[in-house]
């Protein structure tokens, strides 16, 4: 079945297996940026993350954990029809279902943010009480954008439509329409979090969901452009590595069942720093997810 879903002939994330036997976490990429509305290039994100990962250490002193102690598989990137955004989402759904059937916790590498809907659709069948935690610069709550309801600017709206609990916590959003901010405020889904700030509000927002399965979606434009310039829609006033570590620390003890990292456009940042940050985000997720399942 993997032969029909994935292309694994290219780079592999450091320390990953190709065979899922005895693994607890599964990685796959989605090389897609078909609804990009500013700078394209997110389709190169998964490969860039894999290629630069060899420059990182497997050990994280902050978490006091080592990738060498964890079994995780990198399936490569899924085979998609890049001209049909709806079919891409269906392909993501099929790939996520495959990982779930193998009892693997999925980590998806984008690609653009529209792909999250497919993973959510698959996961709610196993976890009907699934909630979504979003790190992002943008609200992504539009009904449609440039005539496409499957645009990356609509992805949280589409996810809410399939989440049975209709619950999303949007952390640190700093850009969107007036209507989007009204929706977030009216539904108590916007979690205020400032660069260098404390995580008290996030802790409070998470308390009712101490036993709920959580999907963590990370749009890399959540980070400040001065740290991560390689993204299609950069937004000033963002966050830094210590902020991300505080978020992960806060999520410790909650049940993260799957995650994604999206919107890396590596060609925009010729220094390669953005790709390295993204690869380090993935390392932190693997090390964290291993104890959150």
List binding-site positions for Mn(2+).
113, 136, 138, 140, 219, 221
Nearest to 15 by CA among 292, 287, 264, 288: 287
Q: What is the side-by-side order of every strand in the sheet holding 168-171?
A: 6-7, 72-78, 25-30, 105-110, 255-262, 213-219, 131-135, 168-171, 190-191
Residue among 152, 141, 142, 158 nearest 39 (CA) = 152
Strands (DSSP E) found in 102-196: 105-110, 131-135, 168-171, 190-191
- Please give the annotated binding residues, written as ranges: 113, 136, 138, 140, 219, 221
Dihedrals φ, ψ of 281, to 5°? -60, -45
Q: Give the closest residue to 215 by CA, choosing from 128, 290, 126, 120.
A: 120
In eight-state DSSP terms, residue 268 is: G
The upper half-sphere exposure of residue 232, i.e. CA atoms within 13 Å in the direction of its Cβ, equals: 26
At residue 217, φ and ψ (nearest 5 deg) are -110, 130
First and final C-alpha spacing in the chain? 25
């Amino acid at each position: 079945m993997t032969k029909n879903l994935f292309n694994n002939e290219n780079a592999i994330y450091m320390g990953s297996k190709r065979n899922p036997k005895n693994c607890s976490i599964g990685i796959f990429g989605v090389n897609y940026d078909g609804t990009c509305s500013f700078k394209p290039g997110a389709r190169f994100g998964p490969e860039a993350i894999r290629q630069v990962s060899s420059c990182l250490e497997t050990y994280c002193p902050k978490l006091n954990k080592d990738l060498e102690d964890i079994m995780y598989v990198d399936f490569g990137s899924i085979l998609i029809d890049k001209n049909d955004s709806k079919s891409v989402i269906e392909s993501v759904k099929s790939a996520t279902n495959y990982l779930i059937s193998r009892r693997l916790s999925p980590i998806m590498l984008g690609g653009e943010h529209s792909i999250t809907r497919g993973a959510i659709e698959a996961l709610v069948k196993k976890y009907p009480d699934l909630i979504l935690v979003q790190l992002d610069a943008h609200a992504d709550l539009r009904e449609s954008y440039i005539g496409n309801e499957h645009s990356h600017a609509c992805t949280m709206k589409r996810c809410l439509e399939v989440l049975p609990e209709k619950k999303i916590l949007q952390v640190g959003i700093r850009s969107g329409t007036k209507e989007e901010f009204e929706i977030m405020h009216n539904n108590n889904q916007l979690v205020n979090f400032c660069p260098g700030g404390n995580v008290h509000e996030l802790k409070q927002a998470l308390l009712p969901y101490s036993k709920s399965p959580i999907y963590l979606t990370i749009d890399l434009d959540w980070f400040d452009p001065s740290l991560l310039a390689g993204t299609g829609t950069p937004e000033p006033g963002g966050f830094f590595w210590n902020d991300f570590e505080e978020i992960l620390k806060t999520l410790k003890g909650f049940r993260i069942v799957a995650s994604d990292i999206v919107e890396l456009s590596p060609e925009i940042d010729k220094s390669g720093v953005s790709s390295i940050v993204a690869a380090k985000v993935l390392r932190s997720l693997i090390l964290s997810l291993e104890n959150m399942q």
